[in-house]
Amino acid sequence: MGKEARAWGQLSDGESDGKLLWEPPKLIFRGAVRGIYQGHALRDIRAEGDDIVLSDGTRFSLDPGQAEKWVHAILNPPTRLDKLGVKPGMKVAVDGVDDEAFLDELADRVEAEIGPGEDFEDLDLLFLAADDLGQLDRLEDLQGALAEKGAIWVVSQKGKTAPLKDVDVMAAARGVGLVDTKVCAFSKTHTALRFVRRKG
């Protein structure tokens, strides 16, 4: 959901050619001079012709027609559901994910089925909570609930004290014919790994 482009940067400590990156929530410039901007620094960002201009006068010159697109992307960062690929009209189910804010966000966008997945079928997305290897044993059965291009997001704790590591989740999923395609920060305490059926 980020952006990347070559740009001419005019920063407080000098000017140079470089690479401009939008990695929400940070705008990063890497050249002979460097800068990282977020939060308050981006509040009054605007486009002037082919330039992105920050409130402190920092300026990045982009290819013609790009500045407006960059400013729009920066002022409208992707939500958690955008990052997770949840789109209106999708068939979505949640199994064990106990995050009230997430469930509220989901309810505003789709009608999600909640509960253990015995009756799920033809799903575009399934969110499965897993904090031990036993919960991952269900992946084999649950993948049968997916539509042809459906995916399972495994949501688990993150950090050094997490009972499951990403490598454990990936090994269990690969063992039942799933492949990982994306990782997403789910919350301050949890991460999410996306899996789809292996082609062929």
- 28: β partners: 21, 36
Q: For residue 79, which amino acid is it?
A: T
Mean pLDDT by 10 residues, the chain (200 residues): 90 96 93 95 95 96 97 91 95 94 95 82 95 90 92 95 91 94 93 90
What are the φ and ψ backbone dihedral angles of 25, each rounded to 5 degrees?
-100, 20
Q: Tokens 């966000």 identify what position? A: 105
The full set of domains in the chain, from first to last, is: 3-75 (2.30.29), 80-197 (3.40.50.150)
**Helix, strand, coil percentages, rounded to 5, for the chain:** 25, 40, 35
- 87: β partners: none
Dist. CA 118–CA 99, nearest whole Å? 21
Cα-based distances in Å from 31 to 7, 17, 112, 114: 9, 6, 46, 48
